[in-house]
Amino acid sequence: MKSILSLLSPPTLKLDSTMAVSSPTTLRSPPFPSIAVAQQPKKSTPKRSSKTVETLYPIPPLTTNTTATPTTSTSSVPPKKVLVPIGFGTEEMEAVVLVDVLRRAGADVTLASVEPQLEVEASGGTRLVADTSIAACSDETFDLVALPGGMPGSARLRDSEILRKITSKQAEEKRLYSAICAAPAVTLLPWGLLRRKQTTCHPAFMDKLPTFWAVKSNIQVSGELTTSRGPGTSFEFAISLVEQLFGESVAKEIGELLLVHITADDNPRKEEFNEVEWAVKQTPHVLIPIANGSEEIEVITIVDILRRAKVDVVVASVEKSSQILASQGTKIIADKSISVASESIYDLIILPGGIAGAERLHKSKVLKKLLKEQESAGRMYGAICSSPAVLHKLGLLKGKRATGHPSVIPKLTNDVSSARVVIDGKIITSRGLATATDFSLAIVSKLFGHARARSVAEGLVFEYPRS
């Protein structure tokens, strides 16, 4: 069967035998109006002297025992080093968005476990595998330490003496440190690292912050400290950190790569055609197949949000191993193999994107059989980013409106390119990356109603319409 790579690959696709993190191309995106900056002496930000242009979704190796190495500029300047620690109960969306976005910008990101083992179960049940232990980072110097939130994850970070020493040294030496969600109040506050700093955090923890210094902004920059509110502000948070590390122009370019501009108000949140009910009598059973090269932001966002809405989600690997290496080097452990998962019936099957991941999903005979059975039985299915091309190649979008990543849209028929999410009957598609939250909440709304979707959005600190 003809490969779908021709459908998925943008003109600048570069095939390589090693995992690479794409450097930004020369693009533009609007700045974020919701970032608050405390009055501090203005500091100059470093500029890149040159950039290498890679595909938006680099092709990963087909093994899971390698580590992503960021692509750096051709100058002699060493890459910025970033530490992202995780522990049991860390909020997976926040951790993965930080890692993904910063690696795209060219940072050398280390995902470090504060637990005795590298495998960490996050707050929504997703299992991540860290690059190394926090102990291995104790003698290193980082340009940025970025703490994801989540509970009890923030408490696990707080209780790590090694991490406390690393972060305290970071603050003492006037290098960047940051925290999101519960972490400012639960982790940094007990360490004494919020003194005389304007700070924000998740609404549920605002009462823990010193009243005079608490700020209700999505992003708060106060000297070397940056804080943010929750999973719904993760993109703004990560891009703010990119700007502080690499400069405003690089931050704008990364925003464009992440499709942040598509989430602007002048783009419809959702368009629906041939409306039908999706409600099911029992707890919805949803399958998320993943592969080496799947886009981790999309995988984690969809799984996290659906589980928050009380959906029974199964993450299934189409690889020989249950552990996959996602497009930007994050290691994710699936719940089961696709062959075992295929023994069950699902109300909904959703394909995450990523060029290499979509290609490998398309090669899975078991998954193709499941998708065709899903259509013939009149059950729901969908895809995001590059993966609508998989549905198109299988003939599962005939006569249907759909959307996808900008590199895919020209290949689709009856596309609706302006909307973030398109629903046609029992099929749902979306643009990718920054639209993954809208996509996931649209699924929640179809399964349970708008009120449930809005409730989940509030927990994420994500702006969502009241009606």
Residue 407 and residue 8 in contact, taking contact as beta carbons nearer than 8 Å: yes
pTM confidence score: 0.85
Shared domain for 249 and 293, answered yes or no, is: no
Q: How confident is the prediction along the chain (467 residues), in pLDDT tens digits per residue? A: 444 444 444 333 333 333 333 333 333 333 343 455 554 444 444 443 333 333 333 333 333 333 333 444 445 688 999 999 999 999 999 999 999 999 999 999 999 999 999 999 999 999 999 999 999 999 999 999 999 999 999 999 999 999 999 999 999 999 999 999 999 999 999 999 999 999 999 999 999 999 889 999 999 999 999 999 999 999 999 999 999 999 999 999 999 999 998 876 677 899 999 999 998 999 999 999 999 999 999 999 999 999 999 999 999 999 999 999 999 999 999 999 999 999 999 999 999 999 999 999 999 999 999 999 999 999 999 999 999 999 999 999 999 999 999 999 988 888 787 899 999 999 999 999 999 999 999 999 999 999 999 999 999 999 998 87
Shared domain for 94 and 186, answered yes or no, is: yes
Shared domain for 219 and 296, answered yes or no, is: no
CATH number at residue 110: 3.40.50.880
Which residue, of 233, 258, 283, is where some domain finishes? 258
What is the per-residue DSSP string for 374-425?
Answer: HHHTT-EEEEETTTHHHHHHTTTTTT--B---TTTGGGSSSB--S-SEEEET
H-helix or E-strand containing 308? helix 296-308
Q: What does the chain come to in residues?
A: 467
DSSP 187: I
Q: How far apart are alpha carbons 369 and 391 in whole angstroms?
A: 12
Shared domain for 40 and 166, answered yes or no, is: yes
N-to-C CA span, the chain: 45
Q: Is residue 92 situated within a structural domain? A: yes
Shared domain for 183 and 328, answered yes or no, is: no
H-helix or E-strand containing 315? strand 312-317
CA 116 to chain centre: 25
Q: What pLDDT, in 10s, does the model give residues 445-464?
A: 999 999 999 999 999 999 99
Q: Is residue 74 situated within a structural domain? A: yes
Give every CB contact of residue 357 below 8 A, 6+ residues apart in sequence: 57, 290, 291, 292, 293, 294, 295, 326, 327, 386, 387
**CB burial of residue 439 (10 Å; 0-12, 13-18, 19+):** buried
What is the three-class DSSP state of 126?
coil
Which residue, of 195, 225, 258, is where some domain finishes? 258
Active-site residue flag, 137: no
Shared domain for 405 and 443, answered yes or no, is: yes
Q: Is residue 431 situated within a structural domain? A: yes
Q: Domain total for the chain?
A: 2
Shared domain for 144 and 283, answered yes or no, is: no
Q: Is residue 4 situated within a structural domain? A: no
Handedness of CA 99, 102, 103, 104 (dihedral sign): positive
Shared domain for 209 and 100, answered yes or no, is: yes
- Residue written as token pair 């093994």: 63
Shared domain for 218 and 246, answered yes or no, is: yes
**Whole domain around residue 391: which residue ranges?**
270-460
Residue 9 and residue 408 in contact, taking contact as beta carbons nearer than 8 Å: no
Shared domain for 283 and 344, answered yes or no, is: yes
Give every CB contact of residue 52 below 8 A, 6+ residues apart in sequence: 23, 71, 73, 74
Which of 137, 181, 201, 385 is catalytic? The answer is 385
